[in-house]
Chain A
Amino acid sequence: MNILERNCKALSLKNKELAERLLAFSTVPVHLEETRSGDWTFKIDDKYFHSRYDPIKEAKVQAEEILSRKSDWVILFGLGCGYILRALACGKKDSAIVYEPSIEILRGVLEKIDLSDILSREKVYLFDSIASAIDIIRCGIDPMENLLCYSPAPYKVAFAQQLQDFNNRVNNAHMTNKVGLKTDIDSRLKWIENYFENLNYFPQYSPVDTLKDKFKGKPMIIAGAGPSLKKNAHLLKDLKGKAVIVAAITAYKPLLKYGVVPDFIIASEKVDLPEYFTYGEEDKNTRLILAEISHPGMFTREVKDKFIFFNPYINLSLEHGKHWGSNYFPAIGGSVTTAALDMGVMFGCSPIVFIGQDLCFGENETHAPGGVYIAQNVRIDKEKGEVIIEEDYVTLKDKARSRFNLQWLKGLNGGLVPSKFDWATFHQWFENYMVFLKKTGLPISVINATEGGAYIEGMEHITLKEAIARDFRGEFNIDEIMEEAVKSRQPVDYRALYDSFSRMLVSLKGIDKTAIRILKEVKEAKREFNKNGNTPILVKSVGRIGRMVESLLEEAQGASFLWETLIATTSELKEFHREEQACDSTERFGRELGSIEASYTRMDEMCRRFIPILDNILSMLDSHLEKTCSSVEKKFDIAWTPAIQ
């Protein structure tokens, strides 16, 4: 086996596709030259990528610099001859994601230099595609871990544009992870509460997948509320009946200013948003698509109809979705327009056209006029890398002021456009989704007709006028299609729901019992530890705690939603374990007992909070089943009182 084959064998453990491509590579690889020290270097455009004298000594300096900055992961732009990677490994740093922008370099280097021992390490990844590197950052890196991006000087010069793009995307990907975690911490408990409160609406309104394939080949417009909406929203008025018009809830009122009542408004906020509605005729002429975890107040809005979608990241929904009659969990990238895109694909629409999807700041504005933001003042400070927004919001007396770190996205104008973390997150999701859509081979075209803002890789960028002229053909009656579709909705399976909630209740009661026993044992362990230190009695006590935790984890599988309600606590616990403890082992042990006590106290609280809710749900389901056991066809006529006390 030659050096290239050895390297490719190691590489194929994590990137088989690249390994195969390298083996089959047929063009001229970069030429490696021997250095004075007997190692290797190469040059591109007459510039050497490593010292011509002693590249290993050079890499040692670079690795020392990287290691001094203490990061969990090193994101290396440029493999070069692999000397930095090896020097890092010698410094006990072997969690690295390496992106090499040139396959010619990759092939030349892997032909001559054996890196197989490093490439086969568990946390060393090598890519020649930015998207693949970003995938690992999104899926393989904990949001709490910190990253250090490093690029050797020659790569900064030779691949300046790619490096800027790469750094932006790494930053945005990691930000996405952090945003996801923060959203989870801030929202999970409220989502679960909303889910339980909304149970009585689920039989009343159809799941959104009732509309699956009902709009095959028909155009869909998804309107975001970005500043560019004002450039082409007026064209929508003539598209009623020619396209399915879906508005993000923020875009609803701005569209009304142009005389456009959308066919659907999509919303999923955990808080109520009464200010987004007119309470007039317009509301009654549109429909709401609501997430199952939306605020219950949103289900009380008087609109023509409502549809529900179930989220794939809510364990309760995953378990119950099919029982409520839904087999569809949309791919969601954090905003309702991302969910709308996946729904458009599910409806069978094509083309799916975005407008008002700027994903960046406009001229002194964040949103199109006419919505809930009355006046805005956006101040971008490029030097500090931040943006300060002052805005008058319809429901607030005083100006709202917020500050965000600037993120940069590739703009439609070819340059970079200023953005912020949530938009950058959505942008990244769109680009990943377009890669996914392409892979599915579905004949669906997606157009970004925003006419401003960020460029979204994978979408076609043309004006709305051009899209209409080219792709919008014929008319159809949306009301008729929907009426027909709703008739065919899947029935609710109350028996299955009853069984599921029963299992959850049993599990919850079991978890609570064990949590209380753990707390009691922890108290005794603490007492023993404080009185006598590390004794055989303490060791036995810790062993008992461990066994009880194991049993609790098993019991918790029956009520997995409980973990979601505890995400803030588990994150704190994780952070506690990540922190370098500057104390001795005795003190640390004491702290660990304290953190176990805090965690299980919280778990006990959550169990006590949800046990009566589940009791209540079960008694209502029970009475419903009793009423309907003789008439199975009466499936949708229950009206529950809100389950949350």
Chain B
Amino acid sequence: MPEVYLDGSKIDFEDSGKNLTIGELIVSLESELIRHRRFVLELWVDGEKLDNWRESLFLKKPVSSHGDFKLNTASVDAIALEGIDIVQEYLRVIKSNITVCVRDLRIGNIGDTELSPIFEGLIEVVKTLDALTQGGGRYGIDLFKENPGVFYQPLLKNMEALKNAKDSGDAVLAADILEYELHPLIEEIEEKVFHKGV
């Protein structure tokens, strides 16, 4: 019978039919953890830490095929705050990249202007905001002043327009989008989405 530890303490666990999957084990534990606004952050199996385990086929394997499971949990509030910090830092960096790119485009260096850090940064921002929104909903935490989802479409629209402007060699348009559309939009997100002091 495999042994299961939660935050270092061994818990009673029974799998008499020997057909419980690892995924089912974690779901059942997390349903208990919700009450404490915690969730499983790390999973160690037979002494080895697993990465990306939430998305792997590993969760479909039977619990009985391993010797021990060690699960470490984290506070939803702490993780959410860290996520918000990261998003805000991302947005600051994106704004500063925009300033550099606008200058490059204005002086005509369209070929040398590197827009990919802006695109990649915005995609990360959207992904993180979305994850935080969903996670916050599950745990009943109100993380944002305003639903960030309303900004995804305008962000996407600007990114598309920016890509088209760059591809067609239109430096003036690309700079205008960055300076007068994307930059103010990011400032609006910062102002409307995040609580003061968060």
Contact = CB atoms under 8 A, between A and B. Distances in A.
B171 A58 contact: no
A153 B180 contact: no
Interface of A: 36, 47-53, 58, 61-62, 65, 151-154, 156-157
For the residues of A in contact with B, the DSSP-based class is mixed
A48 B175 CA distance: 11
Contacts of B169: 153, 157
Contacts of B168: 47
B126 interface: no
Contacts of A49: 172
A36 B176 CA distance: 12
B181 to A, nearest CB: 9
Interface string B102-117: 0101111010000000
Interface in B133-171: 168-171
B172 A154 contact: yes
A156 B103 CA distance: 17
A154 B180 CA distance: 19
Query: For the side of the interface on B, what is the size category?
Result: 10 to 19
Contacts of B103: 61
A58 B106 contact: yes
Contacts of A51: 172, 175-176, 179-180
B176 A154 contact: no
28 contacts: A36-B180, A47-B168, A47-B170, A47-B172, A48-B170, A48-B173, A49-B172, A50-B172, A51-B172, A51-B175, A51-B176, A51-B179, A51-B180, A52-B172, A52-B176, A53-B176, A53-B180, A58-B172, A61-B107, A62-B106, A62-B107, A65-B107, A152-B108, A153-B105, A153-B108, A153-B169, A154-B170, A157-B169
Interface centre among A48, A51, A156 (most CB of B within 10 A): A51
A153 B111 CA distance: 10
Contacts of A48: 170, 172-173, 176
B121 to A, nearest CB: 23
A180 to B, nearest CB: 32
Contacts of B180: 36, 51, 53
B48 to A, nearest CB: 52
Contacts of A157: 169-170
Contacts of B179: 51, 53
Nearest to A47: B170
A61 B176 CA distance: 13
A30 to B, nearest CB: 15
Contacts of A156: 108
Given A58-B106, A61-B103, A62-B106, A153 B172 contact: yes
B178 to A, nearest CB: 11
Given A47-B170, A61-B103, A153 B110 contact: yes
Nearest to A51: B176
Given A53-B179, A53-B180, A61 B106 contact: yes
Nearest to B169: A157
Contacts of A153: 105, 108, 110, 169, 171-172
A58 B173 contact: no
Contacts of A152: 108
A152 B106 CA distance: 8
A367 to B, nearest CB: 39
Interface in B83-117: 103, 105-108, 110
Contacts of A151: 108
A157 B108 CA distance: 10
Contacts of A154: 170-172
B100 to A, nearest CB: 12
Given A47-B170, A53-B180, A157-B169, A58 B108 contact: no
A374 B21 CA distance: 87
Contacts of A62: 106-108
